[in-house]
A and B are shown apart, each in its own frame.
Chain A
């Protein structure tokens, strides 16, 4: 016990601000929303208990709920791998031991800091507008670009591209992971004449697996929660034709536009279940593909 505290005390000290915030500020509202999810509540009159009514409506009658799931799952399926590949690629480039690496790291991290901002979302909308920069560049090489944002068939991809561009935080984590791979393994492979690609698949990927796993879980959770960029680009409504109806955007609309707080709470809890399920799947399957170097018994 004493040893446990001696070893973990610093960790708990660092966790303290979060713990205080969680218990004082977040826990109450979280429990309240669980209660509200079983009520009909319009924020003005008192909540009315309706049992499983909200959940029942969600699964049996709400077409937009299914549409929101479809949009969000498509986005997660595209954006998470795209961002991780981008992050790993850039991290490997930066791992070449450049002298100015600090500068590059900062530069490549910048979009992630900006990415969540409203300004970037607005910029994105203009870049991909019918007469936006993207189409003007395409026109130079003789391609007639689509109206990316206003076409329901392409609007989601503009957000995937935006997600790809925000590779900063997984990139930093990959970079740290790459640094942890012993150099002598590569040197040995080099001497044996192993091609670069095999070095990557046989050394880099397996040894990086714990880091990939960590990034995958984090990015999946984050992508399910994508809100501000979708909200801005779709004018807050999921437009065009609900092609950008992200789960969170739908939830926001139900809560703050149509005053259905009870229903929105139910939606929020179901999102939690989805994210928890995905995280559980990742953890459960991880033993088959994630190998920790120091776990040999």
Chain B
């Protein structure tokens, strides 16, 4: 009896407190603010800031500040902010780094919001599950993509290339490179030199029937995989049909400096969502080809979540952050602004709404996506801790190969050794 009274009493006090707090709410709410941090390019930044404006108009009282930077510096800044306990509330996340950040406890799971203020029940299961680590959803898919060989359609036409760009092989690729280079008198090379692109190399390993990392998080790629890759590009360099080696060793250049954007080459490797951004900085119309296949090999390419939105450990106003997140994947106006620039949305409803309004290059990416569905392999498991460092090692050791300072076979052995040591040390 006494307890009941006490509880009732507490309840009354609580209600009174809530009531007295209520009128103050709007004033308080006006100060709500969230930070959103993403890696971008000019086109993406333009769209994202437009999204922020639209969201703020609809949600008076929530101020969103956007912070953007290129991919090259993104993870350094992110790590610094993580260390300083000053992460943005919402951070753009990549499949490669997801595991690492979750393991460090830098992200909050989203499961408790699902169905309440984050409506994702009808989303495609596969792409959505790409954001799960150990069964918990840590990252919301904001688009799917796949590898793509972007090419200059004018150059292809002028060189009279009629290869089947979905089913072609590495031999076809080499021939195309030759044709384009000779047609342009060497002014435009066939392709960027992809020696240092670990993303394309991963497809190569899969074509050889292996994953780069085994399910228990060890390096499964072999020295033979690496040396055959570097040797192929060495041969193409020797033939003079790929981009100048001094450009190749500039790591992670912005899109605007890629061979295809400046007109040095007719092909570059990218992710399919980047088609929109590349078209924005290229003079000629671009087209989409698959990464060449290994004759008689396994599928190397895969469809993966291109980007995620994640809620950081340091987020204070989670309610506002989740409202923003929800708008990103469900609000028709906002998804309309985003289009397909970050990838193909995994909400069927949104895809249907976008279909009639697609621009030419967006149509290109949808068609490409449809065409490759049956040609890709399964999504690899998230990379283990240390994968980012392995990527650096690949570029570092590959640089010596590209510049002809170290023998291919020797460098390949060094890389595999280093990669194994890096992964072992990171655990």
By a beta-carbon cutoff of 8 Å, the part of chain A in contact with chain B is: 42-45, 130, 147, 150-152, 235-242, 256-259, 261
Q: Which residue from B76, B79, B250, B397 sits with its C-beta under 8 Å from A150?
A: B250
Report if A257-B403 is in contact (Cβ < 8 Å); known contacts: A45-B105, A239-B251.
Answer: no
Report if A237-B400 is in contact (Cβ < 8 Å); known contacts: A43-B82, A44-B82.
Answer: no
Question: A289 CA to B75 CA in the complex, in Å?
Answer: 50
Q: Mark B59-72, 1 if CB is under 8 A from A, else 0.
A: 00000000000001
- Can you list the 6 inter-chain pairs with the closest CB atoms, starting with the nearest? A147-B246, A44-B104, A241-B399, A43-B83, A130-B246, A150-B246
Q: Are the CB atoms of A152 and B104 closer together than 8 Å?
A: no
Q: Mark B393-427, 1 if CB is under 8 A from A, else 0.
A: 00111011001010000000000000000000010
Q: Are the CB atoms of A256 and B80 closer together than 8 Å?
A: yes
Q: Mark B230-244, 1 if CB is under 8 A from A, else 0.
A: 000000000000001
Report if A236-B76 is in contact (Cβ < 8 Å); known contacts: A43-B83, A44-B104, A45-B105.
Answer: yes
A231's nearest neighbour on chain B, judged by CB, is B76
Q: Are the CB atoms of B403 and A237 closer together than 8 Å?
A: no
Report if A239-B249 is in contact (Cβ < 8 Å); known contacts: A43-B82, A152-B400.
Answer: yes
Please give the distance in Å from A156's CB to the nearest CB on chain B: 15
Question: A257 CA to B387 CA in the complex, in Å?
Answer: 12
Report if A130-B244 is in contact (Cβ < 8 Å); known contacts: A152-B403, A236-B73, A241-B396.
Answer: yes
Q: Which residue from B83, B247, B386, B396 sits with its C-beta under 8 Å from A237?
A: B396
**Interface of chain B: mostly helix, strand, loop or mixed:** helix
Contacts of A45 in B (CB 8 A): 104-105
B389's nearest neighbour on chain A, judged by CB, is A258
Interface size on B, residues (CB 8 A): 30
Q: Are the CB atoms of B405 and A261 closer together than 8 Å?
A: no
Whether B319 is near chain A, meaning CB under 8 Å from some CB there, is no
Question: A241 CA to B249 CA in the complex, in Å?
Answer: 9
Q: Are the CB atoms of B405 and A241 closer together than 8 Å?
A: yes
Question: A258 CA to B75 CA in the complex, in Å?
Answer: 10
Q: Are the CB atoms of B246 and A239 closer together than 8 Å?
A: no
Q: Which residue from B72, B80, B249 sits with its C-beta under 8 Å from A240?
A: B249
Contacts of A239 in B (CB 8 A): 249, 251, 395-396, 399
Q: Which residue from B72, B82, B105, B400 sits with its C-beta under 8 Å from A241?
A: B400
Whether B199 is near chain A, meaning CB under 8 Å from some CB there, is no
B252's nearest neighbour on chain A, judged by CB, is A235
Q: Which residue from A150, A235, A256 sits with its C-beta under 8 Å from B72?
A: A235
Whether B367 is near chain A, meaning CB under 8 Å from some CB there, is no
Whether B124 is near chain A, meaning CB under 8 Å from some CB there, is no
Contacts of B83 in A (CB 8 A): 43, 256, 259, 261
Question: A240 CA to B250 CA in the complex, in Å?
Answer: 8
Question: A147 CA to B405 CA in the complex, in Å?
Answer: 15
